[in-house]
């Protein structure tokens, strides 16, 4: 649980391909029973860490839930990572209010719920290590949510975080295969969203890709059947259905501009 390794990489427009650390993380540190014996999470540290981010990576299995709340797009790079769009202007998360609370009755993507925990990967093998973003405001000495019990064993908090990160990592691996297939298929096309807001203003949101429905209808039967066998079709349709959520972003933006 405590090897000094580099954090795993998550894709997306704010991914480590363009940043030295995964999105949101500043000092991910492997948990150590001796070094962190008295440390724990700050109680209810909030979601302020998502402020200023207009898209987050999502996993394949959560797309059917995501599509009811956010537009789903794909990153423009070769990874074609699926992302939930949180805002249409740079550095703005429309789902976070000034109290660092999320929009009511809205699903929160797993990437956000995982924070401040994350897996690290040991180069050259499959070993994973549970890390936490060891920064002030998130971690404190003698906190009410300790990482370890008095006898040095992982606390329920750490055990639950480990299981969540395991599930997240497995889903991320499935997502990588799905994204690669989409990228190789030629179905993804670049798009620009035009958002009309109050007083006749118009905002352009670009730098993302979507599945072209016409190209999807012309997809080779063999490939289509292969994707059906792999269970990918519901996730493709979830992406297509999510286009209706651009209207929700427009409503949230208009409300904020007031």
Q: How confident is residue 14, by pLDDT bands cut at 50, 70 and 90? A: very low
User: What is the domain range of residue 101?
Assistant: 6-257
**Alpha carbon 104 to chain centroid, angstroms:** 19
The count of domains in the chain is 1
Q: Answer yes or no: is 83 within a domain.
A: yes
Q: pTM of the entire structure?
A: 0.88
pLDDT tens-digit map of 113-161: 999 999 986 566 667 899 999 999 999 998 789 999 999 999 999 999 9
Q: Answer yes or no: is 1 within a domain.
A: no
Average pLDDT over residues 107-115: 98
In the predicted structure, residue 12 carries a pLDDT above the cut 50: no
pLDDT tens-digit map of 88-99: 999 999 999 989
Q: Answer yes or no: is 113 within a domain.
A: yes
pLDDT tens-digit map of 71-80: 999 999 999 9
Interacting residues of 15 by C-beta distance below 8 A, sequence separation 6+? 9, 22, 23, 57, 75, 79, 81
Q: Answer yes or no: is 59 within a domain.
A: yes
pLDDT at 215: 96
pLDDT tens-digit map of 184-230: 999 999 998 888 877 778 888 888 999 999 999 999 999 999 999 99
If DSSP codes are grouped into helix, strand and coil, which group holds residue 74?
strand
Interacting residues of 7 by C-beta distance below 8 A, sequence separation 6+? 16, 21, 22, 25, 28, 118, 119, 120, 121, 131
Average pLDDT over residues 4-11: 37
Tokens encoding 9: 């990489």
pLDDT at 192: 87
In the predicted structure, residue 4 carries a pLDDT above the cut 60: no
Q: Answer yes or no: is 137 within a domain.
A: yes
Q: Answer yes or no: is 179 within a domain.
A: yes
Rounded-to-integer distance, Cα 60 and Cα 108, Å: 15
Q: Answer yes or no: is 63 within a domain.
A: yes
Average pLDDT over residues 233-258: 93
Q: Answer yes or no: is 66 within a domain.
A: yes
């Amino acid at each position: 649980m405590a090897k000094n390794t580099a954090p795993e990489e998550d894709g997306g427009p704010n991914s480590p391909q363009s940043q030295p650390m995964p999105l949101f993380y500043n000092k991910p540190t492997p948990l150590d029973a001796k070094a962190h014996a008295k440390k724990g999470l700050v109680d209810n540290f909030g979601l302020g860490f998502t402020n200023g981010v207009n898209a987050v990576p999502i996993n394949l299995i959560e797309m059917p839930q995501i599509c009811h709340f956010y537009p789903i797009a794909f990153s423009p790079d070769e990874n074609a990572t699926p992302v939930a769009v949180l805002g249409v202007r740079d550095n703005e998360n429309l789902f976070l209010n000034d109290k660092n609370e999320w929009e009511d009755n809205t699903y929160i993507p797993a990437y956000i719920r995982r924070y401040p925990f994350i897996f690290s990967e040991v180069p050259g093998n499959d070993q994973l290590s549970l890390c936490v973003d060891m920064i002030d405001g998130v971690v404190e000495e003698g906190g009410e949510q300790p990482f370890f019990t008095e006898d040095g064993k992982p606390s329920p908090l750490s055990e639950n975080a480990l299981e969540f990160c395991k599930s997240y990592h497995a889903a991320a691996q499935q997502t990588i295969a799905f994204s690669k297939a989409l990228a190789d298929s030629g179905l993804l096309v670049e798009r620009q969203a035009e958002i009309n807001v109050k007083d006749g203003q118009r905002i352009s949101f670009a730098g993302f890709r979507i599945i072209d429905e016409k190209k999807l209808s012309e997809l080779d039967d063999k490939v289509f059947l292969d994707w059906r066998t792999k269970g990918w079709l519901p996730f493709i349709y979830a992406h297509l259905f999510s286009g209706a959520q651009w209207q929700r972003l427009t409503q949230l933006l208009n409300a904020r501009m007031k």
